[in-house]
Amino acid sequence: MNLDYERNTDINKQLLYELNDRLKTVYTGGGEKAATKQKEKGKLLARERITYLIDHDRPWLDIGALTADGMYAEFGGCPSGGVITGIGYVSGRQCVIVANDATVKAGAWFPMTAKKNLRAQEIAMENRLPIIYLVDSAGVFLPLQDEIFPDKEHFGRIFRNNAIMSSEGIVQIAAIMGSCVAGGAYLPIMSDEAMIVDGTGSVFLAGSYLVKSAIGEDVDNEALGGASTHCEISGVTDYKHPDDQACLDSIKNIFSKMGTPLNAGFDRAKAVAPLKAPDEIYGILPDSREKPYDMLDIIHRLVDNSEFEEYKQLYGQSIICGLGRIDGWAVGIVANQRKVIKSKKGEMQFGGVIYSDSADKSTRFIMNCNQKKIPLVFLQDVTGFMVGSRSEQGGIIKDGAKMVNAVANSVVPKFTIVIGNSYGAGNYAMCGKAYDPRLIFAWPSAKIAVMGGSQAAKTLLQIQESALKAKGETITPEKEDELLKEITDRYNYQTTPYYAAARLWVDGIIDPLETRKVISMGIEAANQAPIMKRFNVGVIQT
């Protein structure tokens, strides 16, 4: 092994250590004191509920674990957005699970809580996956009600989605395992079936204090909306259980009797591990986002038996396209090549840049995968489209438009892994969040922004200096250096994968060795939603 390989390994494992350290903190939710309070009520914690519910011999995929990371500091933070979401298996059936974490502000909904819940429902709807809600929430976090209550993608969209999923036959089961208040009361009751835990579960539109102030009635919360009230008097809930475990057992029992889902027909062979050791990725991926490497070395450590059928291998080489298998599933891979290449015309092409020929090739390959019903995997390490007079005169805009069109109109499921850079329009063409990937995850090495840090910082510096000069301020070299450092530090922080994961621009940050699991579980989910829409790209720029 050479020194570069060893240095890369050290840096990438250090990034992985930081990720695991952050996740360990997030998994503690609102902390030990809050957890103890839940335990004293006889309740399982949110992650304990999920662990009890899911099949232990099958994988679990956390979605949005780092949601709200570093946000809402003025309110004491909101670890994981106060809700745990993910894809798992219950009684052998793949499903989405949403579990409020009552250790975080009593499970109250922050703006990012709503966004994360909507993302979980989106995954269920796109893939026709059953969804389980483990409800334990005090409702909207009132100090931020204006950011969560009235808009299209706010709290009310949750119940709209409940109704849409019900009409489309997507199974929803809710368990009321703690508080369920006000508008939030509609979520479990709009599900197909609702169960409640006696003594700890309660559901009502208005709690006892609000009832007293509104109509002057004295009544306690148990009489208002406890298990006996809703299972024996109102008929609002369907099942009454003595404790969390019995409630979760009931969900398992219902799932064990569900019919088999329809099949989209994606091809799967027997899974084979990569021939080349996946953990060598740590040594291959450079310690800096500016350094070149051969993306094929990464691909060969992700695909089954390290076998990859490359499409138009000698043309448009700044993007690699080809067919392979991941955990048995047939996939079409579109990946940015990061080494410098020389075209047959003698043109030197920078790694990570999309040129006209590579955009053309990718467009055709994406269309072919739609024709053959093969899911697409995008491996992003892109700095953008090529600029300059030669590229503009060569029609880079129309060639880029073709690629964006093909990505946007694809009907096969798409999965995106952000390995390194994800800059500007390159993010769009390589199926960024705005282009509906079924799942989008980042490696700890990812950088997501409109442009690279050094270019952006210098541009922002020029803007700030012009503003200061307009006010009559003199910019000394020392002041310029200070401003540049301040701008660069702020911009670099905003390009980290943690900043992106906190805002759900990506579904999470993963160890590179988890990539095969993410893609495999994603395609298995997508395979439960037959493709009903015809592939049509409309007007293609020629």
Q: What is the pLDDT of residues 412-429, one digit of tens each?
A: 999 999 999 999 889 999
- What DSSP string runs through 195-251? EEETTT---BSS-HHHHHHHH-----HHHHHSHHIIIIIS---SEEESSHHHHHHHH
Q: Are strands 348-349 and 384-385 parallel, antiparallel or unpaired?
A: unpaired
What b/e string do you get for 170-205 counting C-beta neighbours within 10 Å, with b at 16 or more?
A: bbbbbbbbbbbbbebbbbbbbbbbbbbbbebbbbbe
In this predicted model, what pLDDT tens digit does every residue of 252-273 receive, in sequence order? 999 999 999 999 999 999 999 9
Average pLDDT for 114-131: 97
pLDDT (0 to 100) of residue 213: 66
Residue 358 and residue 319 in contact, taking contact as beta carbons nearer than 8 Å: yes
pLDDT (0 to 100) of residue 231: 85
pLDDT (0 to 100) of residue 384: 85
pLDDT (0 to 100) of residue 478: 77
In this predicted model, what pLDDT tens digit does every residue of 3-32 receive, in sequence order? 999 999 999 999 999 999 999 999 999 999
Q: How many CA atoms lie within 13 A of 445 on its CB side?
A: 29
Higher pLDDT, 401 or 485: 401
Q: Which residues contact 134 (CB under 8 A, 6 or more apart)?
A: 46, 49, 50, 53, 97, 98, 99, 100, 174, 175, 177
pLDDT (0 to 100) of residue 209: 59
pLDDT (0 to 100) of residue 168: 96
In this predicted model, what pLDDT tens digit does every residue of 336-369 receive, in sequence order? 999 998 877 878 888 899 999 999 999 999 999 9
pLDDT (0 to 100) of residue 70: 94
Read off the tokens for 374: 């093969």
Residue 44: φ, ψ to 5°: -80, 150
As a whole number of angstroms, the distance between CA 139 and CA 107 comes to 7
As a whole number of angstroms, the distance between CA 113 and CA 154 comes to 10
The residues that bridge with 194 in the sheet, in sequence order, are 174
**Is 148's pLDDT higher than 90?**
no
Position 34: which residue type? A
Read off the tokens for 102: 């009552």
Sign of the Cα pseudo-torsion (288, 291, 297, 302, in order)? positive
**Is 276's pLDDT higher than 80?**
yes
Which uninterrupted H or E stretch holds 519?
Answer: helix 515-526
What are the distances in angstroms from CA 149 to CA 113, 122, 166, 174? 12, 19, 23, 22
What b/e string do you get for 20-42 counting C-beta neighbours within 10 Å, with b at 16 or more?
A: eebbeebeebbeeebbeebeeee
What are the distances in angstroms from CA 489 to CA 108, 453, 456, 463, 496? 33, 9, 11, 17, 11
Give which of 27, 44, 54 is closest to 132, Cα–Cα.
Answer: 54
Average pLDDT for 470-485: 77
The three-state secondary structure class of 442 is strand
Average pLDDT for 83-95: 98
**Is 97's pLDDT higher than 80?**
yes
Average pLDDT for 198-220: 75
What are the distances in angstroms from CA 55 to CA 51, 52, 60, 227, 263? 8, 8, 9, 28, 22
CA dihedral 115, 119, 125, 126 (to 10 degrees): 140
In this predicted model, what pLDDT tens digit does every residue of 361-378 receive, in sequence order? 999 999 999 999 999 999
Average pLDDT for 118-146: 93
Read off the tokens for 376: 């697409």
Residue 427 and residue 472 in contact, taking contact as beta carbons nearer than 8 Å: no
**Is 395's pLDDT higher than 80?**
no
pLDDT (0 to 100) of residue 484: 77
What b/e string do you get for 255-270 counting C-beta neighbours within 10 Å, with b at 16 or more?
A: beeeeebeebebeeee
Read off the tokens for 329: 């599933």
In this predicted model, what pLDDT tens digit does every residue of 172-194 receive, in sequence order? 999 999 988 766 677 888 999 99
**Is 317's pLDDT higher than 90?**
yes
Average pLDDT for 153-182: 92
Give the predicted TM-score (pTM) of the model.
0.94
**Is 515's pLDDT higher than 80?**
yes
pLDDT (0 to 100) of residue 325: 98
Alpha helices, DSSP H only, in 415-502? 424-429, 453-470, 477-494, 497-502
DSSP collapsed to 3 states, 242-262: CCHHHHHHHHHHHHCCCCCCC
As a whole number of angstroms, the distance between CA 423 and CA 429 comes to 10
pLDDT (0 to 100) of residue 541: 75
Residue 406 and residue 363 in contact, taking contact as beta carbons nearer than 8 Å: yes
Higher pLDDT, 154 or 505: 505
Provide the percentage of residues in the chain whose pLDDT is more than 90: 71
pLDDT (0 to 100) of residue 183: 63
Residue 506 and residue 64 in contact, taking contact as beta carbons nearer than 8 Å: no
Higher pLDDT, 484 or 351: 351
Average pLDDT, the chain: 91
**Is 162's pLDDT higher than 70?**
yes
